[in-house]
Structure 1
Amino acid sequence: MATILKLDNVSKLYGSLRALDGVTLSLPDNAYISLLGPSGSGKTTLLRVIAGFERQDGGGVLLAGESLDGVPAHRRNIGFVFQNFALFPHLSVARNISFGLENSEGTARPSAGVIAAKVRDIVALTGLGGLEERGVAQISGGQRQRVALARTLVTEPGLVLLDEPLGALDANLRTRMRDELRAIRERLGVTFLHVTGSETEALAMGDSLIVLDRGRIGQIDAPDTVYNRPASPAVARFLNCYNLFEGSLGEGAFVGPAGRFALDAAAAASKGGGPAYAVRHDRIEVRPPAAPAGADEVRIEGAFVASEYTGATQLSFFRLDDGRLVEVEAHLSHRSPAAYGADERYGLVWKRRDALVYA
């Protein structure tokens, strides 16, 4: 597969803060890439360096094999969709969309007829028909998001960068816009690099998922690989679906404040970044305190604290004897929500093979 973007050991400093620390990656052409990381991990800085709004302090950025060093932002053939949409409130929907074309430099500026045709096509593609003459204050949040995307796509960029593009939308609209963004990208055949702080959004959107950890690449993999096999404790923590235990690796066991966890042979010291032990919320079964564990299982005890019911799942919290909380997620498609007694003790059990052990 052809490469559209390549970053080679890119760094960016703000005084003593190293916002990007030797980022190296390649993005394929015609793909949807999610970029996930917590606040302060360098996500937006990375986008701004790629777009040319910030200049890197080291390393190189190449688009379609050509170096972008010294190339200003408006000549990079890279589109940028901002979180707040950055629309012009005094212009109509159509004029917002056509703005980039109308303000192209010199001979690159299309004729009025070509601009009208391009705007008409992109309006149809993004579902904005009938809204062309409205002001952007007269349309909904989802429609404004489409206008921002249309304004970027109408210039036919080689790469589109999206900085938290769904962050300003309500939950129902965010879910619907995920499908629409993917469908639009597939029709155009251009690569989208979609930055988000939402692990759910990142997993749902990307053909590939990049996890950024304190200015460094933590993992690049297919979303299901990142979800099931996070490369480090930091990546597992970002996903917000793993219980992480501290401790040390001993002979056939992981030992820490929560207890001694016997290890599955295949899981022992399988990853770096530790020592740490991780088990996903939905891999844990809640049992009565007298129920024993099987030979292939790990068991600890905790007192029930509270549950959160979301409709599709129930997330329950149990406090261990060392004071830490363990989260247990139950999917409710084939069962009723469980009822636990306040402060009552329960066994928390999982299969050894379901644990991830970081050496």
Structure 2
Amino acid sequence: MDIQELRRMEAQFQEILGRELKKLARHKTIDVVVGIPFYNEKETLAQVVTTAVQGLSPFLNVKPFIVCVGDPAGSEALASLEGLKLEVPHMEFLMPEGVNGRGFSIRAILEIARELAADVVLLEADLRRKGDQGFKPSWLERLYFPLLHDYDLISGCFRRHYFEDPTGSLFVGPMLETFFGLKLRDPLSGVYGISRRLVEDYCTDLDWWYGGAGGFGVDTWLLTQAVVWNKKICEVSLGAKIGPPGLSKRSYVFKQVARSLFHCIKANEDYWLKSQLILKQPDLYGLEERDRAPEFICSLEDIIAGFTLGFDQYSSLMSHVLPEKAYEVVERVAADPRPDFRFSAELWTVVIHHFLQAYVFDDSLKAEDIMEGLRILYDGRIAAFIADVD
């Protein structure tokens, strides 16, 4: 992306942001912004908003402000908020094409909180409740209360099925531990509490928003920068999350997350090269919610088929990136995907190491091709993980 394109995108973002900031004149005494980035979750967004309002009602001296920022495709979700009778001030709008996505929606929320000098609680628009499990008003207290005790970043933690979030458990979690010394139980929960001090830092570091943080990669950026800036981090247990994402979305999200994480590692080499390999286990606020993880059904055959087909299409790239012995193992596995599918953790470690090197140093390869090749091999690792657990 050239400098002219970056300037055009930033001007577009500032135009929409400036329009919305003008509406804040009558809301100058806000303590916490509850931000909800959305795509077009028309069935759940309104309930998320009303539950959030209920959750903050016990804080009698806290003045909340609800901000919902959506994708251009979110007109129906936006319409679902019309007619809601909320007892707190609120704002909702859509981002334009070119500066849209989860990351840019979150950036807009953070900029609004910065203008108001407020803390932030970030939620997701697809949070659901089923009986006594799932999204509850008490989640707001758990995410907000630690901010009153000088924590800067509160990361939510869900009780998940083994197969629900392999990107977090098999990729992001180990990479955060290895390079940033941060051990989180659920690194991609997507829900956070953020202090006004950290909000200011996030908004000041503009370059990142065009380096992979504009989409789903924003989560890894939020976490890694909090570590690099030596912020005070804690986790809160929130129980089960109802309605986990499908496999099709998982593949799309993985590539954005992987690219952002690789970018964070590359940009912060001065930090992790000087680290002393000390793992930081964040404080855990409150008792653990004992919800039961929801069932999660996936097709091992479909994942294996995707891996073998993808290998056929990207075998030349893989032979270029991987050392000879590792490539031979991958080739053998792809050629004979037996029921006892084997793609070991050791092989996955070698894959990540060499694809990270290729991303940082190999200018002969396109970043998108590197991410797609890694995504295919990630399917192989997931298939092996499912086969081992089953």
TM band (smaller chain): under 0.3
TM-score by length of 2: 0.25
Q: Which has the higher helix share?
A: 2
Q: Which has the higher strand share?
A: 1
Q: Which has more radius of gyration?
A: 1
